[in-house]
Amino acid sequence: MFNDLRDLYQEVIFDHNRNPRNFRVIENADRQVEGFNPLCGDKLTLFLKMNGNVITDASFQGSGCAISTASVSLMTEIVKGKTEQEAEELFKKFHEMTTGKDEEINLEAVGKLAVLAGVREYPARVKCATLAWHTLDAALKNEQKPVSTE
C-alpha cells in the first residue's frame, strides 16, 4: 500500500513538473515577487492578482528542479480563491509538514500538497519544495525584495 501511494505521489510531482499549471505572467499583477534557491538553482517569479484580501489569480514564471516546479504549480492552483489569511495558514501547515516540525501530518489539512510530504526525509530538497511558499509569504506581506532560501 505504501509503495502504491509513493508511486502515485511521484506521478503527481512528475505531472506538475512536465505540465506546470499557471505557468504564465499575469499582466498588471497586484503582487510580484522573485524567489531563488542558490543551492539547487531554482528561480521563480510569483504573480498574484488580488480582489481586496482574496487571491483571484496566481501564476509563475521561472525554472527549477521537479520538486520546485511541482510545488509552485500545486501552490498556484490551491491558493486561488483563498483569503490572505487562509493562504498564510496553508503556508504554515506546508512548512511544518515539509520541515518535519509537525510529526503528525494532517494530510486532509494540506490536501493535494501531501504529495510533497516526503521531502522531509531529504533535507537538501526541503528548500526546493518551500521556495514557492516563502515567495508567497513575501507576496502576502507585500514585500518587494527577492526571496532566497539561503
b vs e for 53-65, b when ≥16 Cβ sit within 10 Å of the residue's Cβ?
Answer: eebebbbbbbebb
Q: How far from 62 is each of 20, 33, 45, 110, 116, CA to CA, in Å?
A: 11, 12, 6, 24, 20
**Cβ contacts of 34 within 8 Å, gap of 6 or more:** 43, 44, 45, 46, 135, 146, 147
Task: Look at residue 149 in the predicted model and tell me its pLDDT.
Answer: 87
Which domain covers residue 78, as residue numbers?
Answer: 2-145
Report the number of distinct structural domains present in the chain.
Answer: 1
Taking residue 103's Cβ as centre, other Cβ atoms within 10 Å add up to 7
**Cβ contacts of 28 within 8 Å, gap of 6 or more:** 49
pLDDT > 90: percent of the chain: 66
Q: Considering the domain boundaries, does residue 97 fall inside one?
A: yes
What mean pLDDT comes out for the span 60-69? 95
Q: Considering the domain boundaries, does residue 141 fall inside one?
A: yes
Counting Cα atoms < 13 Å in the Cβ hemisphere of 3 gives 0
What is the phi/psi pair of residue 36, to 5°? -145, 135
Q: Considering the domain boundaries, does residue 150 fall inside one?
A: no
Express each pLDDT in 75-85 by its tens digit.
999 999 999 99
Q: Considering the domain boundaries, does residue 92 fall inside one?
A: yes
CATH of the domain at 114: 3.90.1010.10
Q: Considering the domain boundaries, does residue 140 fall inside one?
A: yes
Q: Considering the domain boundaries, does residue 126 fall inside one?
A: yes
